[in-house]
């Protein structure tokens, strides 16, 4: 927290040195990335519910609202809001089906993330797993230094999943029917490739280009190598999302990655600054979507309504 506060203070002291044109281009590219991601999700949902009428605008709104919230709340809590808003946008939909459809982008993402991490580890500047324990990031260092606890948590998650299936055993046939409906687009290879794989890959390209311009905007020098390494830091931060946006993990990794090409202060300003810029931008988009598309007045109201709806579903 002390390092984050210092870097934030230095960021506001150095505002006049930022390249605002590059930052504007970066945000525009990131907006296209969000648009492409939401389109892939929309196509998955349309494959699951071909006979229901719903708009891409509402699916996009649910996606950006969740993305904005995930930047300020830990453990990906905004994804619950996306689930409820998306389900409420499609008549006769069920949570298992919508959840399965929303999870489908993870197939392409997993492949891309493996390629990104493989490249990052091959560059010689990205910390190796055995070095994670020495990083100045509590969550990442904790898991690296306590493998027993890490194994216990993974086991507990696996047990929780098994218990969930046991609880659902009475309705297992209906449950699996909903799951199969959610991944229906996978049965049409051409539709899956055009409707999901292509938008997702383009989205990753736009996201990488966005960070190229963010590096340029914060005077670290835009480069393909630098942008991929920033994406690698974000991929690893997403694995341990116990701080909003994985801010601690990202800052610790970026300080090591760019230590040989830029000063510590410059890298700290970038690591904090890019997250503030992206979070503020996505929060603004998310709030606009909640107000203009879903009729909420605040993120708090959306969260409260989400909890009420989930409680009603559980009771029912």
DSSP track, 220-242: S---HHHHHHHHHHHHHHHHS--
- The series of mean pLDDT values per 10 residues for the chain, 316 residues long, is 59 70 95 97 96 94 90 74 90 91 95 94 80 56 57 69 61 75 94 96 97 92 91 84 65 82 79 87 91 82 72 64
Secondary structure element (H or E) that encloses residue 215, with its range:
helix 198-217
| CA 283 to each of CA 80, 82, 223: distance values in angstroms, whole numbers, following the listed order | 16, 14, 27
Query: From CA 274, how far away is CA 220, in angstroms rounded?
Result: 12
Extents of the domains making up the chain: 2-145+183-315
pLDDT recorded at residue 133: 56
| CA 292 to each of CA 37, 79, 83, 96, 280: distance values in angstroms, whole numbers, following the listed order | 20, 20, 18, 27, 18
Q: Are 47 and 255 in contact (CB under 8 A)?
A: no
DSSP string computed for 18-55 = S-HHHHHHHHHHHHHHHHHHHHHHHHHHHHH-TTS---
Q: Are 126 and 257 in contact (CB under 8 A)?
A: yes
Q: Residue 193 gets which letter from DSSP?
A: I
pLDDT recorded at residue 1: 57
pLDDT recorded at residue 103: 93
Query: From CA 17, how far away is CA 35, in angstroms rounded?
Result: 30
Helical segments of 94-186, H only: 95-103, 105-122, 138-145, 147-167, 172-182
- What is the rounded end-to-end Cα distance, in angstroms, of the chain? 43
pLDDT recorded at residue 132: 60
pLDDT recorded at residue 302: 73
pTM of the entire predicted model: 0.83
pLDDT recorded at residue 260: 74
Residue located via tokens 């998650």: 157
Contacts with 307 (C-beta within 8 Å, 6 or more apart), sequence order:
none
């Amino acid at each position: 927290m002390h390092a984050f506060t210092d870097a934030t203070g230095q960021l506001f002291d150095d505002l006049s040195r930022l390249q605002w044109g590059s930052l504007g281009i970066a945000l525009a590219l990131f907006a296209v990335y969000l648009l492409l991601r939401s389109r892939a999700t929309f196509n998955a949902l349309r494959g699951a519910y071909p006979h229901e009428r719903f708009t891409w605008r509402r699916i996009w709104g649910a996606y950006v609202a969740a993305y904005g919230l995930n930047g300020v709340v830990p453990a990906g809590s905004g994804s619950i809001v996306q689930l409820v808003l998306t389900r409420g946008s499609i008549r006769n939909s069920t949570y298992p089906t919508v959840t399965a459809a929303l999870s489908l982008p993870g197939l392409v993402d997993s492949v891309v993330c493996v390629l990104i991490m493989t490249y990052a580890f091959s560059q010689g500047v990205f910390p190796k797993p055995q070095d994670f324990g020495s990083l100045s990031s509590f969550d990442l260092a904790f898991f690296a230094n306590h493998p027993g606890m890490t194994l216990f948590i993974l086991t507990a998650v696996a047990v929780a999943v098994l218990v969930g299936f046991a609880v659902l055993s009475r309705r297992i046939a209906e449950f699996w029917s909903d799951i199969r409906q959610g991944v229906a687009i996978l049965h049409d290879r051409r539709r899956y490739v055009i409707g999901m794989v292509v938008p997702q890959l383009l989205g990753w390209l736009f996201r990488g280009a966005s960070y190229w311009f963010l590096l340029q905007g914060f005077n670290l020098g835009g480069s393909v190598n630098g942008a991929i390494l920033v994406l690698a830091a974000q991929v690893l931060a997403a694995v341990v999302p116990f701080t909003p946006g994985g801010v601690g993990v990202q800052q610790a990794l970026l300080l090591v990655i760019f230590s040989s090409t830029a000063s510590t202060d410059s890298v700290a300003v970038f690591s904090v600054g890019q997250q503030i810029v992206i979070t503020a931008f996505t929060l603004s988009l998310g709030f606009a979507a909640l107000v203009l598309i879903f009729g909420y007045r605040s993120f708090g109201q959306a969260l409260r309504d989400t909890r009420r709806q989930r409680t009603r579903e559980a009771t029912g």
